[in-house]
Amino acid sequence: MKNPYLPLPTRVEKIVIETEDKNIKTFCVKFLNDEDASNFNYLPGQFAQLSVLGEGEAPFGIASSPTQPGGLEFTVNKAGVLTTALHNLEEGEIIGIRGPLGNCFPLEELEGKDTIIIGGGFAFTTLRSLINYILYKENRSRFGNVVVIYGARSPGLLLYRDELEKWEGRTDLDLHLTVDRAEEDWQRKVGVVPNILKEIAPSPENAYAVVCGPPIMIKFTLPVLRELGFLPERIVLSLEMKMKCGIGMCGRCNIGNQYVCKDGPIFTLAQLDELPSEY
């Protein structure tokens, strides 16, 4: 029997400082054992537990896409004990991984439809995985139009800036970048994500909306989506809760009878409407 608590060793190949405040870093990791790498089959939206021995472990959405060769990527905001330990790592060090855990975005349902991807702040990680998955040359034709609205407080707090620039040059992706506060050389949109969504007003016709962001963004984005005519069954969200085991046993990440780690983290708004608002 596989022990679901044992982390597998990975080497930190590369660390990228994502934001100008240096509070968010992306860790590119590779499994030490090829067998572990080939057993780690994941899809966009899933997460994994990262271990720093001696410090503990915590769950993070997988920011890379399974279509991209090589290792896995995790983008980590420094907030607590474990994230600080991760930020103190140097390239070449070994960390542990357990996963993949949780469910993924409803990829089969998204096929043949337009996808409106709405992200804010550092919650953009698994959305990035989804976008790269859809843009992958062998996948792209199975999906309809892709509209991405991504906002941060200021330009320097946007993640994956090199990649965003490449996406801006693509014709098969409609990317809208926005910031709350503009800076002198900022040529793109200014305004909070819900307002930009209202302005762009994507059609709900044959479309899904996928939303990840801080609670305040979600709170004001959902009414806009409803106004635009998106049905709760077609609005997809990814949730975060404090987790320990990641496999539905330790008892803390439940919302009603659903465990975010095992039954989520991806839920439709229709599913969440059935649950207590304890998140």
Partner 1 sequence: MQELEIAKTELVSLLNTLIKECKVFAPVEQNGFITFQEIHSGSEAFLDYINSKKPPKEIFFPQSEGLFSYDLSKGKGWSVEGPSSEKKQSIIFGIRPCDARSLVLLDNVFDGQLYKDPYYTDKRKNTTIIAIGCNQPSSTCFCTSLGGGPFYQEGSDLILVDIGQKYILQVVTEKGEKLAKKHNEFKEAEDHSLSLVRDTMEKADALMKSKIEVQKVTEKLDSMFDDPFWDLVSEKCIGCAVCTYLCPTCHCFDITDEVISQTGERVRTWDSCAFPSFTLEASGVNPRPSNKERYRQRIMHKFNYFLANHGMVACVGCGRCIKECPVNLDIRGVLNSILNH
Q: Residues interacting with partner 1, by CB under 8 A?
A: 1, 3-7, 9, 32, 51, 53-58, 79-81, 83, 92-94, 96, 215, 240-242, 244-245, 247-252, 254, 256-257, 262, 276, 278-279
Question: Is 82 buried (19+), middle (13-18) or exposed (0-12) by CB count in 10 A?
Answer: buried
CB of 237 to partner 1, least distance (A): 15
Q: How far apart are CA 17 and CA 25, in angstroms?
A: 4
Cβ-contact 204, 145 below 8 angstroms: no
Task: Give the residue with the Cβ less far from partner 1, 156 or 214.
Answer: 214
Task: Give the residue with the Cβ less far from partner 1, 2 or 137.
Answer: 2
CB of 71 to partner 1, least distance (A): 16
CB of 276 to partner 1, least distance (A): 4
CB of 46 to partner 1, least distance (A): 14
Task: Give the residue with the Cβ less far from partner 1, 186 or 220.
Answer: 220
Question: Is 138 buried (19+), middle (13-18) or exposed (0-12) by CB count in 10 A?
Answer: exposed
Q: How far apart are CA 138 and CA 211, in angstroms?
A: 24
Task: Give the residue with the Cβ less far from partner 1, 57 or 73.
Answer: 57
Task: Give the residue with the Cβ less far from partner 1, 61 or 202.
Answer: 61
CB of 86 to partner 1, least distance (A): 12
Task: Give the residue with the Cβ less far from partner 1, 25 or 262.
Answer: 262
CB of 26 to partner 1, least distance (A): 18
CB of 121 to partner 1, least distance (A): 11
Cβ-contact 211, 118 below 8 angstroms: yes
Task: Give the residue with the Cβ less far from partner 1, 135 or 245.
Answer: 245
